[in-house]
Chain A
């Protein structure tokens, strides 16, 4: 009998510490157990693209580092012929997707058990992230509905912007990280956020 276990299993109750100024300006929480699928295929094959959009209910993004989403799926551009499909719940769709995409020169790989998401937010998220990430995080460069694969603290991560309700401003970022690096990343974020004060909340169910 298998048990589903989050990579950040140690966080059984919220951890928090006020910063130098006495405030808490950085929040982080894990978003575990979502569906992560890697999809590869030819963007010039219109039948493949149509098949993907009818299965997901949303178009595959073609602009580099952009994201499309609906209420069920968030689709991130990873390369000219590669996408990450993030299900908002733990959906069991691999078999169906494989069947559908079998008709094309394509590949669907299940990554759900291999990576997790850490959502970071609060006033100081840019400063904390910039402590170990070379990406330009200025609002002019890192906008809503964008994603970027980069390195954070020597770890490969995918950053996905989370915007406010109006979709105008990036208020938080989802870090998609390999599960064996999640603990390292969590500890590094806590260390980087000590100065501004942090709260490491319970996972988002």
Chain B
């Protein structure tokens, strides 16, 4: 079980959160110009990284906000937590 630090509510149990998959996937600006392979890559294909992975979590049973987490997929250690729209170093882009 993970203890995740919500950027608003502080450290809470994993039970209160829902997982939202890989973070920072940008929707193509002009989907009509993509071929099926490129569109499929955007929709379905993820990095499946070994090591530090940027992912989205929602504090579903708490403040219901989405935020980003950098988690090590080997050790499960959470390296950092930051609000949506911020960069992983904690500064606004």
Contacts and interface: CB of A to CB of B under 8 A. Distances in A.
A65 to B, nearest CB: 6
A189 interface: no
B16 A150 contact: yes
Contacts, number: 38
Interface of A: 64-65, 78-80, 82, 134-136, 148-151, 156
Given A79-B8, A80-B8, A134 B65 contact: no
Contacts of A156: 61
Contacts of A135: 12-13
Contacts of A149: 9, 61-63
Interface in B37-93: 61-65
A113 B67 CA distance: 32
- Chain A contact surface mostly: strand
Contacts of A65: 9-10
Interface of B: 8-13, 15-16, 61-65
A131 to B, nearest CB: 14
A150 B13 CA distance: 9
A134 B61 CA distance: 11
B16 A134 contact: yes
24 contacts: A64-B8, A64-B10, A64-B63, A65-B9, A65-B10, A78-B63, A78-B64, A79-B8, A79-B63, A79-B64, A80-B8, A80-B63, A82-B64, A134-B12, A134-B13, A135-B12, A136-B11, A148-B9, A148-B62, A149-B61, A149-B63, A150-B12, A150-B16, A151-B15
